[in-house]
Amino acid sequence: MNKSELIDAIAASSDLTKAASGRALDATVNAITKELKKKGQVSLVGFGTFSVKTRAARTGRNPQTGETIKIKAANIPSFKAGKGLKDAVN
């Protein structure tokens, strides 16, 4: 399912137009993104938790030359599915 299909599904299951559903989806994604930028977390009970994990700096190897390279530390977005979502999938 892509974004436009998700907007159609939201519009079909609510009393919103497709345009309003698109704005609602964009607002939700923006709110989650802003909170993750602040290294916070967003918990949706029954669905899951969005959070930020820190990946430490490490050394790697260039596959073409075999040369050792340094890979910087990074913040990685993470999602842990909640019980309701896990039960719905299984």
What is residue 8's DSSP assignment?
A: H
CB 53 within 8 A of CB 84: no
Exposure on the CB side of residue 12, measured as CA atoms within 13 A: 6
Q: What is the mean pLDDT of residues 57-73?
A: 95
CATH architecture designation of domain 3-89: Irregular (4.10)
Cβ atoms of residues 49 and 43 within 8 Å: yes
Query: How is the chain split into domains, by residue range?
Result: 3-89
Read off the pLDDT of each residue in 15-22 and give the average, rounded to a whole number. Answer: 94
Task: Specify the length of the chain in residues.
Answer: 90
Q: Mean pLDDT, the chain, as a whole number?
A: 95
User: 7: which residues sit within 8 A by CB, 6+ positions away?
Assistant: 18, 21, 22, 25
pLDDT of residue 65: 93
